[in-house]
Every structure is written in C-alpha cells, then in structure tokens.
A = this chain, B = another copy of it.
C-alpha cells in the first residue's frame, strides 16, 4: 500500500457553535478511523427554532491514510 489518502464527507452537529460542530465530526471520525491527517470546512448551516439557532451543522472533509486490509 502506497501513501494514498482517502477523503470522506461528514456533517458534525452541535448546540454551541459551528467550530464545535466541526470538532464533533472530527472526534467521531477519530473513533472510527486511524491516521487522520487533515480536515477542511465545506459549509456551515444551522436549524432555527423560535428565532434561535437550535443546532449548528458544519460539513467537513476529513482525510486519512489508507491501510492494507
């Protein structure tokens, strides 16, 4: 196996902030994957209830090194 990197798309959520939503996506990715190498913010949206942001949603691309099966 070479040094090939795979990139996946995740949407993290948080009730606090867009940055925290990105961190939550990273934490979950770290639970499922090894050799994480990078992250990029793709978009930042939020659900609104009664005029307030109820749930921050940050779409990220997470990169990690492929490993032999």
Q: Contact at B36–A48, with CB atoms within 8 Å?
A: yes
Give the interface SS of chain A, mostly helix, strand, loop or mixed. Answer: strand
Q: Contact at B11–A36, with CB atoms within 8 Å?
A: no
| 27 chain-A/chain-B pairs, Cβ below 8 angstroms | A2-B24, A3-B13, A4-B24, A4-B29, A5-B10, A5-B11, A5-B13, A6-B8, A6-B9, A6-B10, A7-B59, A18-B41, A23-B53, A26-B48, A30-B51, A31-B68, A31-B69, A36-B48, A36-B51, A38-B47, A38-B48, A39-B53, A40-B43, A40-B44, A40-B45, A40-B46, A41-B44
Docked pose: A11 CA to B61 CA in angstroms:
13
The copy count of this chain in the complex is: 12
